[in-house]
Structure 1
Amino acid sequence: MNLDKSRKRIAKKVKAGFKGYPQVNIIYQGKTQDIADEVIIEFVLDEGAEPQQQSFKSKVDVREDEVIQTTLVKIIDRADAKTVTEASRLIAANT
């Protein structure tokens, strides 16, 4: 899957808003506001459930990494996520 297609599929799920559980949260982190070198994907099965997390790091911006973006889409699909959220801005990591 190419980068643009992955981005569009994620954006469509995010735009749909809250549709129930399971829920997937996508959080981009980086040392600066310009480059996200890590993405954390959280999976929440039910309301109040402890989130399961997986992270991916890259030497380039993870938002521009086709392999990582395609992987995020596959995780969302396999989890049968009803709701997908995405951090609205880059979070500067405490490093």
Structure 2
Amino acid sequence: MNRKEEANLAKSALALANSDHMTIYNAYMGWKNSQTEGQRTEMSYCRKHFLNRTALITIEDVKHELMKMMEQAGFWSSRSSHSKPQVASLTKPDISLERSSDRGAL
């Protein structure tokens, strides 16, 4: 088996639901889990699955940046008692496209 076939086989082992996004997520989570066992295990995981560690670090950096932006926008708070981001609820006045001066004109 050549390297390309090995890489395709490794990718298919990580594949979920015919979704590239879910496959990337699965690879990322496997990488995160491998990090808990040390750098040697992390590097072994990357080699075994033909993953680029630098790309995974970039994904993690983007994730943190997006989480920071979501917090700044008020969608969730890292200081809350919830470990997962909470979706902000919108009320009709929050999403209304009417200007307040237009309401009285009807």
Give the TM-score of the pair, scaled to structure 1.
0.27
Structure with the bigger percentage of strand: 1
Structure with the bigger percentage of helix: 2
Larger radius of gyration: 2
Higher relative contact order (CA 8 A, sep 6+): 1
